[in-house]
């Protein structure tokens, strides 16, 4: 991964990519402990009015697509 090539610049490399993915994702699952980067991702999802789930138990049930896909 890119972050492995420059560990001291991981946040500088990964965060812009991660935040850019907000537009392509339907929701966010926030896991783990304290993380400034993860908090920024959550804030971006909330700003985009997209759901943020805090545990696997909070995820909605998966249903089959009407066309079977």
Using the structure block, give the residue that is written with the tokens 């392509």: 24
Q: Where are the beta strands (DSSP E) in 10-67?
A: 28-29, 52-53
Give the tens place of pLDDT for each residue, 13-61: 888 888 999 999 999 999 988 888 899 999 999 999 999 999 999 999 8
DSSP 53: E
SS3 content of the chain, % helix, strand, coil (to 5): 55, 5, 40
Using the structure block, give the residue that is written with the tokens 């700003």: 47
Q: How many residues does the chain have?
A: 69
Stated pTM of the model: 0.76
């Amino acid at each position: 991964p890119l972050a492995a090539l420059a560990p001291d610049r991981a946040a500088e490399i990964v965060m812009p990519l991660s935040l850019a993915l907000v537009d392509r994702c339907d929701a966010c699952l926030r896991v783990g402990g304290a993380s400034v980067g993860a908090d920024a991702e959550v804030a971006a999802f909330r700003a985009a009015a997209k759901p943020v789930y805090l545990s696997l138990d909070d995820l909605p049930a998966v249903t089959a697509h009407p066309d079977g896909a």
